[in-house]
């Protein structure tokens, strides 16, 4: 088997690659921010007082975690369009990713919340803190700090999973690659380039999350413990 690699043809498309990478990052950022908010709310729901809310949140988490992202994307994009909500591919992709990662975030944050020592809650109650204050000052900051590494991995996985949205023609990195390889017939080179781009993106995300941890958790910064 002799094969001569020729990266020149796909490399002439570099502006497309950059645009695709930007879309991938954009999708990931939207999904990370809103997925995080949804996940935290859902985690509070599952650990909260209302059994009814907890049940609804659990059904959501289990349903999402046991079905493929691809099918979820199809339901959001084709399904919603068929019942009258017509959205463009990017919005549908972002919405599906938010719904998907929200469930995973919820499971991670729930573990963090449950790891909080009950003594802390009792102490906070004794100090007369309201339920809201207990959550925002006593429960959530250390809970999220504790599961921060898992959250980082989850959001990097999410960035990689955003490649699946190419299936509904959201113009992100993988969709760009599919188009370029059918233009140039240089499929090995194209996909190797894209794989390298994804590796670089996941490295960028890890560094960004590592930097963000120093802003978000000042106590760590003071004591010098690593996240």
Partner 1 sequence: MTLLSGAQVHFLFQGLWWTVVLSVMAFVGGGLLGFVVAILRVYGPAFVRNLTMLYIKLVQGTPLLVLLSLTYFGLPTMGVTIDPLTAAGLGLSIYVSAYLGEIWRGCIESVPRTQSEAAECLALNWRQRLVHVILPQAVKIATPSTVGFMVQIVKNTSLASAIGFVELARAGQVINNSTFQPFVTFMLIAALYFALCYPLSVWSRRLERKFHVANR
**Is position 218 an interface residue for partner 1 (rule: CB under 8 A)?**
no
- State which of positions 121-160 bind partner 1 (CB under 8 A): 160
Q: Let me know the angle formed at the C-alpha of 181 by 177 and 185, rounded to the nearest 5 degrees.
A: 170
Shortest distance in whole angstroms from residue 199 CB to partner 1:
4
Q: Let me know the angle formed at the C-alpha of 213 by 211 and 155, rounded to the nearest 5 degrees.
A: 85
Pinpoint the alpha helices (H) of the chain: 8-11, 14-47, 51-65, 69-74, 80-82, 89-114, 118-126, 131-133, 140-161, 173-184, 187-216, 218-223
Shortest distance in whole angstroms from residue 63 CB to partner 1:
7
Query: 186 vs 217, which CB is nearer to partner 1?
Result: 186
Torsion sign over Cα 117, 119, 124, 130: positive
How far apart CA 184 and CA 157 sit, in angstroms, is 29
- State which of positions 176-215 bind partner 1 (CB under 8 A): 177-178, 181, 185-188, 191-192, 194-195, 198-199, 202-203
Q: How far is CA 43 from CA 34, 53, 85, 203, 210, in A?
A: 14, 11, 28, 28, 23
**Is position 91 an interface residue for partner 1 (rule: CB under 8 A)?**
no
Query: 40 vs 176, which CB is nearer to partner 1?
Result: 176
Single residue of 9, 41, 70, 208 touching partner 1 by CB under 8 A: 70
Single residue of 58, 91, 150, 167 touching partner 1 by CB under 8 A: 167
**Is position 110 an interface residue for partner 1 (rule: CB under 8 A)?**
no
With a CB cutoff of 8 Å and minimum separation 6, the contacts of 179 are: 16
Pick from 114, 120, 115: which is nearest to 137 by CA? 120
**Is position 1 an interface residue for partner 1 (rule: CB under 8 A)?**
yes
| Total residues at interface with partner 1 (CB under 8 A) | 43
**Is position 164 an interface residue for partner 1 (rule: CB under 8 A)?**
yes
Shortest distance in whole angstroms from residue 36 CB to partner 1:
21
Q: List interacting residues with partner 1 (CB under 8 A).
A: 1-3, 62-63, 65-72, 74-75, 78-83, 160-161, 163-164, 166-167, 174, 177-178, 181, 185-188, 191-192, 194-195, 198-199, 202-203
């Amino acid at each position: 088997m002799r094969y001569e690699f020729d990266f020149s043809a796909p490399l002439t498309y570099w502006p497309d690659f950059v645009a695709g990478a930007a879309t991938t990052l954009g999708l990931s950022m939207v999904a990370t921010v809103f997925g995080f908010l949804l996940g935290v709310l859902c985690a509070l729901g599952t650990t909260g007082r209302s059994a009814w809310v907890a049940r609804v949140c659990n059904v959501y988490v289990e349903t999402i975690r046991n079905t493929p992202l691809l099918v979820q994307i199809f339901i959001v994009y084709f399904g919603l369009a068929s019942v009258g909500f017509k959205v463009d591919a990017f919005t549908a992709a972002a919405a599906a990713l938010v719904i998907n990662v929200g469930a995973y975030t919820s499971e991670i944050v729930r573990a963090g919340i449950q790891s909080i020592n009950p003594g802390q809650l009792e102490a906070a109650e004794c100090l007369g803190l309201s339920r809201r204050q207990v959550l925002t000052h006593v429960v959530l900051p250390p809970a999220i700090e504790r599961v921060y590494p898992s959250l980082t991995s989850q959001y990097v996985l999410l960035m990689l999973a955003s490649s699946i949205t190419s299936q509904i023609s959201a113009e992100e990195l993988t969709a760009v690659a599919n188009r370029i390889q059918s233009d140039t017939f240089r499929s090995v080179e194209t996909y190797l380039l894209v794989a390298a781009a994804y590796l670089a993106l996941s490295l960028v995300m890890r560094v960004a999350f590592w930097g963000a941890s120093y802003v978000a958790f000042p106590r760590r910064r003071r004591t010098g413990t690593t996240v």
